[in-house]
A and B are shown apart, each in its own frame.
Chain A
Amino acid sequence: MTEVLQATKSALLRLSPVGATLWIIRIGIIALLLWGVVGSIIANRYSAAQWGDFVVFGLAIGSIYALVALGYTMVYGVLRLINFCHGDIFMFGAFSAYFAAAPLARAGTLEEDPVLGLAAIFAVAMGISAGLALLVERVAYRPFRHVQSLAPLICAIGASFVIQQSARGLFGSTVKAYPEISWLQGDFSVLSWAVPKLQAIVFLAAVTVMLLLYLVVMRSKLGRAMRALAEDRDAAALMGIDIDRVIVFTFLLGGLTAGVAGVLYALIFTQVHFFMGFVPGIKAFCAAVLGGIGNIPGAMLGGLFLGTVESLGPALVLEGLNIPAPYQLRDAIAFVLLVLVLIFRPSGFLGERIQRRA
């Protein structure tokens, strides 16, 4: 007993003010969480089916976050840079594909041959997103290739605004709605549980894209080159890898995934709007950090986790804390998670330790 006391006492004495603060934060967060969860469970407001619904909705939006996060994570892994305008590239792809979707709907192709119609829409979105990503790379990242600094980040912030406002100026500030595709409506029944078809397809699509990406990065030659660049850029150059080409390829992959994410988002939420990419973009970055930046399965995991927590959190925790209108603070959850992860586990769930302890 006295040894335990002695050990605790010496541990406390060795604690710096910063360490003490971190412990206070840890204990505080856990206390709040417990209080909230207990409060919600006692209130017993939701049925099991409704809790299930929260999770399903969370997984659906989480899949979108995951797809966008994949783009962030790849670019960061290779370039050590956050592509701040990735969210807006996602928006632009979705928006441009609308101009393919609307005529197709009018011509009836989406009803007669939905697969072909969808393929065309995806192709347009992926093409435009990829093109835009390459343009951003050329303008905002290539000049800063040889310096490690904040300049590309600031340039990307500027590019993000330019893309957003260009979408507003070119296409108008009103909302555009994707046509509804009857093939995608309805429910699947999984274990006597009705899962909306669309959400399930989005989830499956996200998983498929992730697997494809994983295969490309792990098995193909360019993927190997990407990993080499991520390890040590100069050594990779010395090994004969064409850095420019690999970086362009990385951005290309990121743009393609953003295009896919854009169309899926538009299919679920139907509305596209010039401001729709900014907030999902930041949240997707939080998701990428949660999962471990530079890590592809990590991005997937982080996205799904973030989506679920966002959907479930206000009902589960905030309501128990008696916070009125808890869903108004929904965006704050993503940021709180980000800050917590950066304090306590900067490498994320699946990432390697990239920051040493102070």
Chain B
Amino acid sequence: MQTKGRSIVAAIAGAVGFAAAAMHIESSVAETRGPVTDPVGVVEIDKGEPLQIGVYQVLSGPDTANGVDQKRAIEIAFAERDNILVGHPVLLHIEDSQCTPEGGQTAATKLAAISDLVIVLGPSCSSEATAGAPILWNAGIPSIGTSTSAPRLTAPERGLEFAGFLRTSYNDNDVGSSAADWAYNVLGVRRATTIHDGSVYTEQLANVFAEQFTALGGTITSREAVSPTDSDMRPVLTRIAADAPELIFYPVFVNAAGHITRQAKEIDGLEETQLLGSDAVFTREMIVAAGRAVVGFSFVANALEPDALGEGYPAFVERYKQTYGEAPIQGSHHQAYDAASIAIAAIEKAAVTNDEGDTYIGRQALLDALYATRDHKGLTGILSCTEHGDCGHFNFAVYEFTNSDPESFSPGVNPKKVYP
């Protein structure tokens, strides 16, 4: 009896002692490898070895379409260069972060543990980035958010742990307040209603819109909410109709937006009401979902510049269709593509290859190259990164759908830009 007890205690004590002694947080330290010295760390890639890039997106659950779309866009960005970067093949490590903070944390922890991981593209949800970006930067890996639009992630007071985080998605504050400005000043509406679906992104946008609209002097008749899985929007639209608003702003995703757009036509009192969405519906799927009611439906979005559009976007869509059997399924794929594009440019700038073909990339140097991105031509326009990591180029524009045939989807034509 005594030996047994003693041996257990001894084993546990030993393990705890060992663990306590070994307890240190993995973090990056200044080092020199090859020709490169860097205060945060150096990635070394020998000749013939792949260049490892991490991707974490939401790949399961209700938001699957968003993450899958962006993952595919990233894959296309590299496939276009035959998966070669600075002379090395590209190896993508793809993780599912489930659009939850614990999912983001786990995915980021796994990616951070891969030695010689250069950069991470993602995540898709702001809650994931809140948990994941600090973990990655702690290991010296910069990350570029692709559809994380929460303002606090690039706010000046965001904290040092987010120093390694940039994003190509726009800032919710910009979208919401610009939309309110446009509605008040350009359209001239004075009464508006907002609908959100309980997700972080839509609620934030709706709130910002409501605040700005009220600040300008308009009236928000009511602030509604639905569940993302709701299909019968008629009662909530009837409720909205009782206050006779001139505009309904619903920055929700395609499923709910389709239902609202279709059913608004059937409600007495909403015949003249302007329907406004956000760029979550900037996809062919919206035309499918809303059918004939999509004609005249407008949404606020990032203006896709004509020359970037002309060069890149149709070819991108074609390639996407060829590879995956369907057109892009959600509205953030161009941001993901641009994140990859910026990353590629920065890596090419910061990488040093010696005569034997080994490549060295300083981590701080890479981050500096990312922040120094100026006038980069992407699918979403000309991108420049601010000192707090906002690379998302936001040129406010309003688009309107003109044709209810899904085959006629063509950004710039259907939907066409109606403002500016």
- Which residues of A are interface residues toward B (Cβ below 8 A)? 45-47, 49-50, 53-54, 57-58, 61, 168, 172-177, 180, 196, 269-271, 273, 275-276, 278-279, 310-312, 314-315, 319, 324-328, 330-331
B266's nearest neighbour on chain A, judged by CB, is A196
Contact in complex: A327, B231 (CB < 8 Å): no
Taking CB atoms, residues of chain B closer than 8 Å to A279 are 229
* Interface flags, B256-291, vs A, CB<8A=1, else 0: 001100100011100000000000000001001101
A-B contact pairs, 26 of them (CB 8 A): A46-B238, A46-B239, A50-B238, A50-B268, A57-B232, A168-B64, A173-B329, A174-B285, A174-B329, A175-B254, A175-B288, A177-B258, A177-B289, A177-B291, A269-B232, A271-B258, A271-B259, A314-B235, A315-B235, A315-B238, A319-B239, A324-B223, A325-B223, A327-B225, A327-B239, A328-B225
Identify the 9 closest CB pairs spanning chains A and B, nearest first.
Answer: A325-B225, A328-B225, A327-B236, A57-B234, A311-B235, A269-B231, A175-B289, A173-B65, A61-B232
**CB nearest neighbor in B for A314:** B235
Interface string of B329-356 (1 = CB under 8 A from A): 1000000000000000000000000000
Closest B residue by C-beta to A325: B225
Given contacts A174-B65, A278-B229, 20 further A-B contacts (CB under 8 A): A45-B242, A53-B238, A53-B268, A54-B238, A57-B234, A172-B329, A173-B329, A174-B288, A269-B232, A270-B258, A270-B291, A271-B259, A275-B229, A276-B229, A314-B235, A325-B225, A327-B225, A327-B239, A328-B225, A328-B227
Q: Is the CB of A271 within 8 A of B255?
A: yes
Q: A328 to B199: give the CA distance in the assembly, Å.
A: 12
A174 to B285, CA, bound (A): 7
Residues of chain B touching chain A, judged by Cβ–Cβ distance below 8 Å, are 62, 64-65, 68, 198, 223-227, 229-232, 234-236, 238-239, 241-243, 254-255, 258-259, 262, 266-268, 285, 288-289, 291-292, 326, 329
In angstroms, Cα B233 to Cα A310, docked, is 11
Choose from B65, B241, B259 the contact partner of A50 (Cβ within 8 Å): B241
Q: How far is the CB of B372 from chain A (nearest CB, A)?
A: 38
B197 and chain A: residue at smallest CB distance: A328
B224 in complex: contacting residue of A61, A172, A312, A327, CB < 8 Å = A327
Query: Closest residue of chain A to B289, judged by CB?
Result: A175
Complex interface: chain B residues within 8 A of A330 (CB) = 226-227, 230, 235
User: Does B232 contact A311, Cβ atoms closer than 8 Å?
Assistant: yes
Complex Cα spacing A176 to B65, Å: 14
Q: Is the CB of B326 within 8 A of A269?
A: no
* Cβ-neighbour of A173 out of B64, B223, B224, B227 (below 8 A): B64
* Complex alpha-carbon distance, A15 and B267, angstroms: 51
- Let me know if A325 and B235 touch, CB within 8 A: no
Could you say which residues of chain A place their CB within 8 Å of the CB of B238? 46, 50, 53-54, 57, 315
B198: chain A residues at CB < 8 Å are: 328
Are B236 and A269 in contact, CB atoms less than 8 angstroms apart?
no
Task: Write out the residue numbers on chain A whose beta carbons fall within 8 Å of the beta carbon of B224.
Answer: 325, 327-328
Asked whether B234 lies within 8 Å of A173 as measured between CB atoms, the reply is no
Residues of A within 8 A of B285 (CB): 174-175
Q: Are B227 and A180 in contact (CB under 8 A)?
A: no
**Chain B: minimal CB distance from A42 (Å):** 15
In Å, the complex CA distance between A198 and B20 comes to 70
- What are the residues of chain A within 8 A of B329 when measuring CB–CB? 172-174
For B65, what are the chain A residues with a Cβ–Cβ distance below 8 Å? Answer: 173-174
A312 partner residues in chain B, CB cutoff 8 A: 235
Distance (whole angstroms) from the CB of B170 to the closest CB of chain A: 24
A54 to B235, CA, bound (A): 6
Question: Chain A residues near B268 (CB, 8 Å)?
Answer: 49-50, 53
CB distance from B201 to the nearest CB of A (A): 16
Q: Nearest-CB distance from B222 to chain A (Å)? A: 8
B242 partner, pick from A50, A271, A278, beta carbons under 8 A: A50
CA–CA, A325 to B230, complex, Å? 14
| A46 and B288 within 8 A (CB) | no
Whole-angstrom CA separation of A331 from B235 in the bound complex: 13
If A57-B232, A271-B259 touch, does A174 touch B326 (CB 8 Å cutoff)?
Answer: yes
Min CB distance B254 to A, Å, is 6
Q: How far is the CA of A46 from the CA of B241 in the complex (A)?
A: 9
A324 — nearest CB in chain B belongs to which residue? B223
Query: Residue of B at shortest CB range from A331?
Result: B227
Q: How far is the CB of A166 from chain B (nearest CB, A)?
A: 14
Which of B65, B227, B239 has its CB near the most chain A CB atoms (within 10 A)?
A: B239
- Among the interface residues B62, B198, B268, which one has the most CB atoms of the partner chain A within 10 A? B268
A271 touches B235 (CB 8 A): no
Distance, CA A270 to CA B239, complexed state (A): 22
Bound CA–CA A46/B65 (angstroms): 38
Question: Which residues of chain A are within 8 angstroms of B62 by Cβ–Cβ distance?
Answer: 275
A residues in contact with B226, CB < 8 Å: 327-328, 330
Residues of A within 8 A of B258 (CB): 175, 177, 270-271
**CA of A315 to CA of B224 in the docked complex: distance in angstroms?**
12
Interchain CB contact under 8 A, B242 and A270: no
CB distance from B3 to the nearest CB of A (A): 45
Query: Closest Cβ of chain A: how far from B327's Cβ, in Å?
Result: 9
Residue of A nearest to B286 (CB): A175
Q: Which residues of A contact B288 (CB under 8 A)?
A: 174-177
Q: Are B230's CB and A276's CB within 8 A?
A: no
Distance to closest chain B CB from A214 (angstroms): 27
Q: Contact: A327 with B235, CB < 8 Å? A: yes
The residues of B that contact A50 with a CB separation of less than 8 Å are 238, 241-242, 268
Give A173's nearest chain B residue, CB to CB. Answer: B65
Q: For the complex, give the distance between the alpha carbons of A325 and B238 in Å.
A: 13
| A180-B259 in contact (CB<8A) | no
Q: How many angstroms from the CA of A173 to the CA of B238 in the assembled complex?
A: 30
A242 vs chain B, min Cβ distance (A): 40
**CA distance in complex: A177, B234 (Å):** 18
Task: Select which of B231, B232, B235, B326 is within 8 A of A172 by beta carbon.
Answer: B326
Would you give the shortest CB distance from A91 to chain B, in whole angstroms? Answer: 12
A314 / chain B contacts, CB cutoff of 8 Å: 235-236, 239
Q: Tell me the bound Cα distance from A269 to B261 in angstroms.
A: 11
